[in-house]
Structures are given as C-alpha cells and as structure tokens.
Amino acid sequence: MITLLVGTNRPNSRARRIATYYRGLLTDLGAESQLLDLADLPVDFIASALYDNAGTNPLFNRLADLLSAGNKLVIVTPEYNGSFPGVLKAFIDGLPYPSAFQGKKVALIGLSNGGQGGLLAMAHLTDILMYLGSAVLPQRVRLPFINKDLNEDDSLNHDLSRQLLREQAEALLAF
C-alpha cells in the first residue's frame, strides 16, 4: 500500500490535485494507494492531539493510522515561505517517534508558483525524513510554475512534468 500525503491543509489545494493525478498513475501501474489529506486534520489538533494529548484525538489518530498502513509514502508538498507548510511539520511532530516513518520508503514531489518547484521544501523535508529513519527516493520531482502547468482538468500541461511523475512512480514501485 502506498500512501499519498497531501502536505498542506489548504482546502482544494494544488497539492491535493497533484496527489490525485499521481494516484491515477499508480493505479495505471497496478499499485494500490490511498490518500491522506492534511485538510482532514481537526482544526484544534495542535492542542488536542500532540504532547500530553497524544493518542487521544480520534480524527488525528485515523490519519496517523493511514500513514502507518503503508510501507511506501509519496509526499506532495507546496513550498511556503522557503520551506514546507508548518501544518505538515506539526502533523509529523504529532506522530509516534520515530516509528511512524522508520523504514518507510518515501518519494517527494514539490510544487511552487516560482521557478524552483518546491526545491527548498523538499530539501528541508528530506533532512527530517532521513533523521526519522526513512529512505528517500533520489528522484525528487519539482513542479515549478504549477499555476501554469496544472490545468482545469487536473492534468498537467507539460510533457516533461507528466514524464517525471511517471518515472518517479515507476522508480518508487521498484524501490
């Protein structure tokens, strides 16, 4: 089972749309997958699911269970202020340490409106994931100028973007 983690809690995010697109690629390749969208986090999870309240919030626990159900993970993250969204870091901080990520194989997809395509977000996230015992797939996909590449049909306008995502999906399955 491959879990696709939408790395923002923004409703109807482009990261969610890319994760859905990627899920279609995985289906085409015969892989089973599930979607974990941080938009489904309880609004009060920082107070109700972290630290002394760890394990007590059923909505947070359901998302944590989705993460633990698979041995492979794809994180689709936008770049916010030169890194990945704070909600993703807070979600990671609320998970069991280090077992939630230990031994998982992770693929990263970064996106941004600018030309770097989430490069800084993926670099910061890679450091954290490796610290937590994950193996990060070297083929990280950057999707720059996502506002021009992602179209109304939730597909990608650029052949290169589609090719890179498919190649990464194939590499993840072999990883």
Parse the chain into domains and list their residue ranges: 2-174
Q: What's the mean pLDDT when you consider all of the chain? A: 94
**pLDDT confidence of residue 3:** 97
pLDDT in tens, 119-165: 999 999 999 999 999 999 999 999 999 999 999 988 999 999 999 99
Over residues 26-80, the pLDDT tens digits come to 999 999 999 999 999 999 998 898 888 888 899 999 999 999 998 999 999 999 9
Mean pLDDT value of segment 88-115: 93
- Separation between Cα atoms, residue 49 and residue 62, nearest integer Å: 11
pLDDT score of 99 more than 90: no
Q: Does domain 2-174 fall into CATH 3.40.50.360?
A: yes
The pTM of this model reads 0.95
Q: Which residues contact 103 (CB under 8 A, 6 or more apart)?
A: 71, 133, 134, 135
Q: How far apart are CA 54 and CA 95, in angstroms?
A: 8
Identify the CA nearest to 88 among candidates 137, 139, 124.
124
Question: What are the phi and psi torsion angles at 57 (to 5°)?
Answer: -100, 110
Tokens 């309240």 belong to which residue?
53
